[in-house]
Structure 1
Amino acid sequence: MSDGFLMLHAYEIIPFDNKNGGVWYQGFEITYDKEKIKQEEPLQVFVVPHSHNDPAVIAIILKNTVH
């Protein structure tokens, strides 16, 4: 495949270094205005059910994937 890569090989291509870092490890101070935040609209969370929890789907994908 010359114009991309197979998702089957994504874990071989993408580095998953899992380096320590970010705000939780580096200790950046997180601040916010307690009065201003009360004026903002509350966060809306949408839970979308996933309908493909079929264990056989892996076998089907592997069967139909060009290696």
Structure 2
Amino acid sequence: MSDDNVLYDSPTEFLHEVAEKSGHCVAQSVIPLEDGSYVCACSCDRWEVVAPSRQEGLRLARAHTGSAP
């Protein structure tokens, strides 16, 4: 989609966009682990950390992309 609004993208369109922009900070993930921590990663393939909480993982992802308040 050309308007760059993720709210209008289907999951398939979003994944295609992430694949097309490999190496760029297009998408971040915060995924729970069995021990209660969260693995956080970015589509740029240069950032992956483990956070103690979901909230901290989101904060770290925002800091990584420069979108932290």
- Is the pair's TM-score, using the shorter chain for normalization, greater than 0.5? no
TM-score normalized by the length of structure 1? 0.19
Higher relative contact order (CA 8 A, sep 6+): 2
More strand by share: 2
